[in-house]
Structure 1
């Protein structure tokens, strides 16, 4: 089905492997399309309740494959045609998405990780906002997400200086959620994803929707959105199950519905 990625579904988790290890999983246009299509498929699949993105080999994603770049390229149109649709599909997904950053995440690979809900990093991982080193600005939503995570001043520092951020520092500044030893990385990512896959999926989607809206709505409008979201959540089977489990003093078994 795919050539530049590998897509597997197991126990409610869709694993999306960036699969160009000989190129440090650098982006080509086909990979943009295939990531978009895979996330769309996972979003529509009721069996999938969590998505994990991870790189094959020693990198997460090194950014754009520069062999596809030429001096006549309209970089803005490339974003409109390839990167923008990919990132929009990721952000539209109401299931939790984990970036399992197993190695370097540079340039648009950094942006890909930023677009996800969680960033779990191997102790060998690093982030580099490398665009400035080739005379470009961070793209694929990079600064939109980065400033929200680390603040304007730190986002400016990371983007203008373009320095490498090691895994431990990424956790310290709020760029990553947690650091994991390299030898147990995929095992611990799998455990984290499995935890998400048995949670109330509809409620998670509504939380994601509310978080996105919180930065752009007035407080009054946000409270109305919150009320609408809570009404929707209150009508789900998972809410009913949660209440019944609480009353019966047992662990809830959520269906994601």
Structure 2
């Protein structure tokens, strides 16, 4: 596959996946999702890859869904059907959890919407001190997708997950570390160096042990992850995407005004 929105490299046992579409702050559309799935599968199958790093840019890890695209569809009177996109990105998140190799997510700047889920999908998350996590779905009249609700409930419990999902408030890097979501917080300038040093340390470790630790944890905590994505997340997001509230939330976001939700 020709990669148009990602950069993929392998060196010294470390595969680095860089989301590289700054035109829309690495927002995830179907092409980005297809490319992510392709490189995740490639890394899993490549014996030269011992550890995987997933990163964005200094400005943003990922802004989540492409709201501008949805806005254009709404303005044109078209139907917004997210089923395919949500399913694809959910498969990426599950693939990262399921894969036999350790995955480090390296987060700088904003991780919003589905970007939060991708950041959480790794086994270790290293953040720059400017990292900001925003479950912004509620501001658009949507529900979290790409497994965010599932992953957060497993990690920080239902009460904190409800707060973040229902308020859409930003969570900073230090709070993410305090909650146990982030492994380490460092500076923007040192993020790449710290991430790669840790990746190389893991790459020199016992890969069979890592592989089976991941399998134990997946089977203990995530065995029903894909089922939940297919049977709970996709239908709930489908209902929200068909609502007038979503149309209003999307328009308000693009028009830089406060939404007027009607519960319809």
1:104 aligns with 2:101: no
Secondary structure of the equivalent of 1:113?
helix
Distance 2:61 2:202 in 1: 21
Look up the match of 1:162: 168
Look up the match of 2:47: 46
Structure 2 gap ranges (5+): 224-264
TM-score (norm 2): 0.78
Aligned partner (choices 62, 73, 78) of residue 80 of structure 2: 73
1:120 aligns with 2:126: yes
Matches within 5 A, 1:205-216: 205-215=211-221
Matches within 5 A, 1:231-246: none
Distance 2:9 2:85 in 1: 28
Q: Which protein has greater RCO, CA pairs closer than 8 Å, 6+ apart?
A: 2
Residues 36 and 90 in structure 1, CA contact (< 8 A), matched pair in contact too: no
Distance 1:25 1:159 in 2: 21
Structure 1 gap ranges (5+): 218-257
Q: What root-mean-square deviation, in Å, do the aligned CA atoms of Structure 1 and Structure 2 show? A: 1.4
Matches within 5 A, 1:144-163: 144-163=150-169
TM-score (norm 1): 0.80
Give 1:89 shift: 2.2
Cα-to-partner distance string for 1:119-140 (whole Å, 9 max, x where unaligned): 1000111111111110111111
Cα-to-partner distance string for 1:138-172 (whole Å, 9 max, x where unaligned): 11111111111111111111111110001111111
Cα-to-partner distance string for 1:172-205 (whole Å, 9 max, x where unaligned): 1112111011221110111011011111112111
Is the alpha carbon distance of 1:4 and 1:162 closer, same or farther for their aligned partners in structure 2, counting shifts above 3 Å?
same
Distance 1:57 1:24 in 2: 10
Distance 2:221 2:42 in 1: 28
Look up the match of 1:7: 8
Give 1:114 shift: 1.2
Distance 2:188 2:166 in 1: 29
Residues 29 and 85 in structure 2, CA contact (< 8 A), matched pair in contact too: no
Residues 21 and 55 in structure 1, CA contact (< 8 A), matched pair in contact too: no
Is the alpha carbon distance of 1:216 and 1:123 closer, same or farther for their aligned partners in structure 2, counting shifts above 3 Å?
closer
Distance 2:90 2:80 in 1: 16
